[in-house]
Amino acid sequence: MKRSSSLTIFIFSFIVLLSACSDTPSFDVYKGSTLKIAVIGETPEIKEDTIKFFEMSFNELETTKRSLDAVIVTEENLTEASKKQYAKVYLHSTKTVNGRLA
């Protein structure tokens, strides 16, 4: 009985280790309407045709009339994004932030 449970634990551990070593994560392909996403910082490289990225500066963010689905602020720009002068931009956003209307 003890040998059987040890073998079961070994096999389970082995399977978990093998699945954790996968090189390519599996994601579902987005199939909705084209998303328009502004990026403050370096634009990510993706293979999706239904996602369009637009480079944008903080100044453009304050003045844009463009309808966007999202804005990504890259890590190297987070300090600038946290400045008080941008608070009104975030407060007047009509998109959701963490599931709540901003």
- For 72, the token pair is 């990504």
Kindly report, residue by residue over 32-54, the tens digit of the pLDDT. Answer: 888 889 899 998 888 778 889 98
38: Cβ contacts below 8 Å, ≥ 6 apart: 53, 54, 55, 56, 60, 61, 64, 66, 68, 70, 71, 72
Residue 96 pLDDT level (bands cut at 50, 70, 90) = low
Residues in the chain: 102
- For 28, the token pair is 């579902």
For position 40, what pLDDT does the model report?
92
State the Cα–Cα distance between residues 50 and 58, nearest whole angstrom. 25
Q: Which of 14, 36, 38, 17 is nearest to 89 (CA)?
A: 38
pTM: 0.59
Whether residue 102 has pLDDT greater than 80:
no
Token pair 């634009």 is at which residue?
43
